[in-house]
Structure 1
Amino acid sequence: MTSPDATPSDAGPSSATPTGTGAAGVADAGAPRDRTWLVAVAAALWGTDGLLRLPLAEDLPSGTVVFWEHLIIVAVLAPFVPRAVRALARCGPRVWLAVLIIGGGSSALATALFTAAFQTGDAITPLVLQKMQPLFAVLAAWVVLGERLRSGYVLFAVPAIAGAWLLAFADPLDIEFGALRAALLAVGAAALWAAGTVLGRLVSTSLPSRDVTTLRFTVGLPVAAIIVTAQGNPYTVSWDNAVGLGLLALIPGLFALSLYYTGLRATPAARATLAELAYPATAVVIGVSFLGATMTVTQWAGLVVVIVAVTALGWHERTAKRRPVVVPPEPASARGRE
């Protein structure tokens, strides 16, 4: 699940410590590798979700799809569950709570809330409010992880968020907001996804990437089952949907999350949440190429802006001496875990 050279050490030095770069700006041998790009690749894989989920959504309730996604992944990861549980038991209550929120909230409940927002109100409101996720993540990263942002961060954050806005709407200046309930559901989903980014970064310093992925879906499975029961949806599916459910669970689900948590171990949450904007960019390309969707000129412009902003952020973090995201030094006890 994780690359052999994966490291839990942080992606940037504290403001009181000089960066490990020479005159040419090349990192010293002991400096951790930046993996913002890997988070972006994982988010791009999430963008293939629509291609697989759309046929299933026509046949199955959303809660049932979410339940089977988790069930298939937990079945695949079953051999790793005992090790992950033992690793979690060695951690403190802070990590236990973080894993519970990641699995139950960010994995299962957030998806259900976001789907319910579309079913409750118009299709615009959830997309507008989902763009608040980076703002929630930056705030949570400051509170939970102690990450600080230098002024240079806005040079990447503002274009990335603006590009995502342009990408979401055919006419970015003509937005109609739906019912309050739909808005609150969408905001709740955005906050939970942001919490997943920040808390995933938190637990990745104490647990290997494979264990974080295993625990996310193992904890999320019973929550998904509760959601199905609460909605009164069936648990059973036909064999006609088996292939689609398997691909959905394993490609944008298990494989993408494995890459994501590997990258997150060396990527501050404030940077990761921008890299995740590769998701709507890929979703648009899939929609236009395979699902018959069309895009306006402003949406194409937004796509270009998102790609450029995310790529530039990763390049800057790899080469610059003064990085825009400042993270606190990592405890020595967290180093060397994998």
Structure 2
Amino acid sequence: MTTTGEVGREGTKDRTWLVAVAAALWGTDGLLRLPLAEDLPAGTVVFWEHLLVVVVLLPLLPSAFRALARCGPREWLAVLVIGGGASALATALFTAAFQVGDPITPLVLQKLQPLFAVLAAWALLGERMRRGYVLFAVPALAGTWLLAFRDPLDIEVSALRAALLALGAAALWAAGTVLGRLVSTSLASRDVTTLRFAVGLPMSAIIVAVQGNTFAVSWDNALGLGLLALVPGLLALSLYYVGLRATPAARATLAELAFPATAAVIGVSFLDSTLSATQWLGLFVVIAAVTALGWHERTRPTPVVVPPEPAGASGASGTSRAES
């Protein structure tokens, strides 16, 4: 990468801000999902989200699969994990964690997702974090912790089964970020989005069948399902993969913290939620950290995440294809 505010090696500019915008759109999820959750099982909602998006993207499926056919086994495996794991299975695991345990445990352990993503980005993509990374990561993670709990000093993690389910969800979501970054050098953003939903659809159907839930929904839920599929679903992920193509995964995972910040604002504004003083503090800290990260990467000559060396450079690793 050249300077972060300039054109990068592949002619693209840093798009940390676009990842944050996509994550903010995910924050509208609760406004649409809450009424549906009162009428439908979670697995059924996830299935219809994938089905509606696949119907919209149907004309793009042949070209997306042709593009995937030209890739190697690494990209095939990555797409399977992104679609089946990060898109469908992770949501099912996170929902199950709430069902079998207390509501605190999944929220606590979900905060480990950025840490999983940073480790995976280092191991799979060869990304290296400079010391300046912690100046954004620590406040962002601390702010997310404050935002998640009314009393951040009175947290008790219990129920081993719920904890394992939540850790599995966090790991899969982190893998989705890193593997999405990996395949973005071999597949167009449009193809990654299309394949994610196409692979996630049969996995979500399997989840519904295993849980013994119904696939049927009423027309009363049609509008909500459509908006859920197209706004925090298709639109957000389309922007996300465009942004991820030019954003190192370790940096993108911090930009994704715009998601809980937006969700909190939506909850207070439309869902009759209230925030404690420490939650308001956490909200402002997250917004400030994510905004500062995007500003720094666009205006400063030294990025906080060092991409791997380009192919052919001295000392380049086998993961060098995953750079921006």
**What TM bracket, shorter-length normalisation?**
over 0.9
Structure 1 residues 215-234: aligned runs within 5 Å: 215-234=195-214
Q: Residue by residue, what CA displacement relative to the aligned partner does 1:21-43 show, whole Å, maximum 9, x if unpaired?
A: 8xxxx636976311000000000
Per-residue deviation, 1:334: 6.9
Rounded Cα–Cα distance in structure 2 between residues aligned with 1:95 and 1:28: 26
Q: 2:14–2:247: 8 Å Cα contact kept in structure 1?
A: yes
Partner residue in 2 for 1:95: 75
Pick from 149, 172, 186 the counterpart of residue 169 of structure 1.
149
Rounded Cα–Cα distance in structure 1 between residues aligned with 2:150 and 2:68: 45
After TM superposition, where is structure 1 displaced by more than 2 Å over at least 4 residues in a row?
A: 26-32, 329-335
Partner residue in 1 for 2:29: 49
Name the aligned partner's letter for residue 33 of structure 2. R
Partner residue in 1 for 2:112: 132
Rounded Cα–Cα distance in structure 1 between residues aligned with 2:215 and 2:265: 32
Partner residue in 2 for 1:4: none
Pick from 200, 203, 209 the counterpart of residue 180 of structure 2.
200
Structure 2 residues without counterparts, runs of 5 or longer? 313-319
Partner residue in 1 for 2:60: 80
Partner residue in 1 for 2:271: 291
| DSSP 3-state at the match of 2:83 | helix
Per-residue deviation, 1:271: 0.3
Alignment pair present for 1:27 and 2:6:
yes
Rounded Cα–Cα distance in structure 2 between residues aligned with 1:46 and 1:79: 25
Rounded Cα–Cα distance in structure 2 between residues aligned with 1:323 and 1:152: 8
Rounded Cα–Cα distance in structure 2 between residues aligned with 1:259 and 1:100: 20
Alignment pair present for 1:302 and 2:251:
no
Per-residue deviation, 1:318: 1.0
Per-residue deviation, 1:135: 0.1
Name the aligned partner's letter for residue 81 of structure 2. I
**TM-score where L is the length of structure 2:** 0.94
Per-residue deviation, 1:329: 3.2
Per-residue deviation, 1:122: 1.1
Alignment pair present for 1:259 and 2:236:
no
Partner residue in 2 for 1:182: 162
| DSSP 3-state at the match of 2:165 | helix
Percent of residue pairs bearing the same amino acid type:
77
Per-residue deviation, 1:331: 4.1
| DSSP 3-state at the match of 2:132 | helix
Pick from 294, 300, 307 the counterpart of residue 314 of structure 1.
294
- What number of residue pairs does the alignment pair up? 315
**TM-score where L is the length of structure 1:** 0.90
Rounded Cα–Cα distance in structure 2 between residues aligned with 1:257 and 1:90: 23
- Label 1:244 to 1:151 Cα distance change in 2 as closer, same or farther (>3 A): same
Per-residue deviation, 1:321: 1.6
| DSSP 3-state at the match of 2:38 | helix
Q: Residue by residue, what CA displacement relative to the aligned partner does 1:220-258 show, whole Å, maximum 9, x if unpaired?
A: 000000000000000111111111100000000000000
Rounded Cα–Cα distance in structure 2 between residues aligned with 1:66 and 1:170: 29
Q: Residue by residue, what CA displacement relative to the aligned partner does 1:168-217 show, whole Å, maximum 9, x if unpaired?
A: 00000001223111111111000000000000000001000000000000
Rounded Cα–Cα distance in structure 2 between residues aligned with 1:291 and 1:235: 27
Q: 2:3–2:302: 8 Å Cα contact kept in structure 1?
A: no
- Label 1:266 to 1:179 Cα distance change in 2 as closer, same or farther (>3 A): same
Rounded Cα–Cα distance in structure 2 between residues aligned with 1:121 and 1:301: 28
Structure 1 residues without counterparts, runs of 5 or longer? 1-12, 14-18
Per-residue deviation, 1:20: 4.5
Rounded Cα–Cα distance in structure 2 between residues aligned with 1:196 and 1:188: 12
Deviates more, 1:282-291 or 1:313-322: 313-322
Q: 2:121–2:127: 8 Å Cα contact kept in structure 1?
A: yes
Rounded Cα–Cα distance in structure 1 between residues aligned with 2:188 and 2:299: 27
Rounded Cα–Cα distance in structure 2 between residues aligned with 1:209 and 1:307: 26
Q: Residue by residue, what CA displacement relative to the aligned partner does 1:302-331 show, whole Å, maximum 9, x if unpaired?
A: 000000000111111111122110001344
Partner residue in 1 for 2:315: none
Rounded Cα–Cα distance in structure 1 between residues aligned with 2:301 and 2:32: 42
Pick from 134, 144, 160 the counterpart of residue 154 of structure 1.
134
The RMSD of aligned alpha carbons is 1.7
Rounded Cα–Cα distance in structure 2 between residues aligned with 1:198 and 1:226: 25
Alignment pair present for 1:329 and 2:302:
no
Partner residue in 2 for 1:7: none
Q: Residue by residue, what CA displacement relative to the aligned partner does 1:145-187 show, whole Å, maximum 9, x if unpaired?
A: 0000111100000000000000000000001223111111111
Name the aligned partner's letter for residue 289 of structure 1. S
Q: 2:28–2:263: 8 Å Cα contact kept in structure 1?
A: yes
| DSSP 3-state at the match of 2:309 | coil
Q: Residue by residue, what CA displacement relative to the aligned partner does 1:101-129 show, whole Å, maximum 9, x if unpaired?
A: 00000000000000111111111111111
